[in-house]
Amino acid sequence: MTPLVLCTLIIIVTLAVSGVAKIKEPTSTVTAIVNLKLDQWLPVKPIAKILPWAELTLAAALLLLPGIWQVLAAIAAVVLFIGYWAAIARAVVQGNTATCNCFGSASTAPVSMFTLIRNTALLMASFGALIGAIVTRGSALTMLLATDADGWLWLIGAGLAALVLWSINRSEQTVRTVEQPVTDQPAESQPLPGNEAEDYLRSPIPFASLRYPAKKGEKSNEGAEANLRYLSTTQARLLIFVSPTCGSCQPVIEQLADWHQRLPMLGVHPVVSNESYLQQMDLPADMQPFVDPESKTGMLFGGATPSAVALGTDELLAGGPVYGSDDVTRFVEDIIGEMEHASAETAKATLVQEEAIKETDGEA
């Protein structure tokens, strides 16, 4: 067995895991294309439908097909991973910290230099698989069946190393999740708009998404995705993360209809982690709620309920996040106060202008 079969197995496993994840969550590919700003060049919907099946087909070909077919499959893998590497490298150079959804919605980490390092390693592995295919002309399965005891020891060692690295990564993610309380207030919160506005450092709206409630025929929690940045380009948004099972959320939930009525210029959106919660909330018919399955997007804002964050139309946070019933209420009331003040100033300026026009017409 040539040691290069390890490269082929790495590519097979990567393609299989990625393909299955994308099939389970088809919209994750659409989100990835949009997040990485590739939608101006790629047909989004066809790619989202074809890519996961192409990855699985390629994995099966590398595993099973010998001869020239193995070489062609390895060439296709190299081309695919060059594309993946280029997309991530472009994002890193541009400072785009979007989530690439490389393994479906399970991979929500922002793009970073570590993502590029991972893709560089996978690209090198694909070249290793191509060299192995040219040298042996055998499928990965054929090479595995011909493996001797020493070869299996190498494979077992590589498998254990991969398992250790995977478990370390998962444990770190678990620690980070546990450190972020879901229903309690985090240690720190952003300042409210108002007299502390000058101290508020606006940060970019994260590349994340929520879901619309499922339409007839769709499964619960599987409605269409709504990208936060795209939502905010059409209108400023106020996201209020609540749960009807959370006692401190009740005062906030009771005020949602009133806030919706008093802030017609903003999109006021309650966000729940489970679509069934919406049935327990008495919301106005014209109010658009969103669903955040497993609170993945909510975690980016602290993971607390109740909490609130305002999205500006310039792709930056306009206020928050803030946490807890009292702070959320103050936050929203401050926004209402600012909006009413701005409206009054506009009306005053319009009145002055109209009076000036009348005076000018009178003198004429």
* Paired residues of 210 in beta bridges: 226
**150-162: per-residue pLDDT in tens?**
776 766 766 666 6
Identify which has the larger pLDDT, 165 or 149.
149
Query: Which range is least confidently modeled, 143-157, 183-197, 224-238, 298-312?
Result: 183-197
Helix (H, G, I), strand (E, B) or coil at 333: helix
Residues in the chain: 364
Specify the DSSP element, H or E, that contains 171: helix 149-179
Distance of alpha carbon 51 from its chain centroid, rounded? 19
User: Which among 278, 283, 230, 260 is positioned nearest to 332, based on CA atoms?
Assistant: 260
What percent of the chain is predicted at pLDDT more than 90?
Answer: 19
Distance of alpha carbon 224 from its chain centroid, rounded? 14
**Angle between the 44-64 and 26-35 helix axes, to the nearest 10 degrees?**
110
289: confidence class by pLDDT, cuts 50, 70, 90: very high
Query: Which range is least confidently modeled, 160-164, 169-173, 187-191, 192-196?
Result: 187-191
Strand order in the sheet with 267-272: 225-227, 209-211, 290-291, 267-272, 237-241, 307-311, 317-323
Measure the N-to-C terminal CA separation of the chain; round to a whole number of Å. Answer: 99
296: confidence class by pLDDT, cuts 50, 70, 90: confident
**Which 8-state DSSP code applies to residue 303?**
S
**234-256: per-residue pLDDT in tens?**
888 999 999 888 888 888 999 99
For the cut 80, the answer to whether the pLDDT of residue 264 exceeds it is: yes
Q: Give the contacts of 45 (CB within 8 A, at least 6 positions apart).
A: 30
**What is the DSSP pairing of strand 209-211 with strand 102-105?**
unpaired
pLDDT of residue 201: 65
173: confidence class by pLDDT, cuts 50, 70, 90: very low
pLDDT of residue 69: 94
Contact 219, 275 (CB under 8 A): no
CA distances from 96 to 112, 199, 343 (A): 8, 25, 36
**Which 8-state DSSP code applies to residue 111?**
P
pTM equals 0.50
**199-229: per-residue pLDDT in tens?**
556 778 888 888 888 776 666 656 688 888 8
CA distance 231 to 34: 13
pLDDT of residue 353: 61
For the cut 70, the answer to whether the pLDDT of residue 24 exceeds it is: yes
Contact 140, 12 (CB under 8 A): yes
The residue written with tokens 């150079």 in the block is 93
For the cut 50, the answer to whether the pLDDT of residue 189 exceeds it is: no
Helix (H, G, I), strand (E, B) or coil at 310: strand
pLDDT of residue 68: 94
* Paired residues of 58 in beta bridges: none
For the cut 50, the answer to whether the pLDDT of residue 317 exceeds it is: yes
Residue type, 302: G
Across 3-26, b (16+ Cβ under 10 Å) vs e yields ebbbbbbbbbebbbbbbbbbbebb
177: confidence class by pLDDT, cuts 50, 70, 90: very low
Q: State mean pLDDT over 86-103.
A: 80
124: confidence class by pLDDT, cuts 50, 70, 90: very high
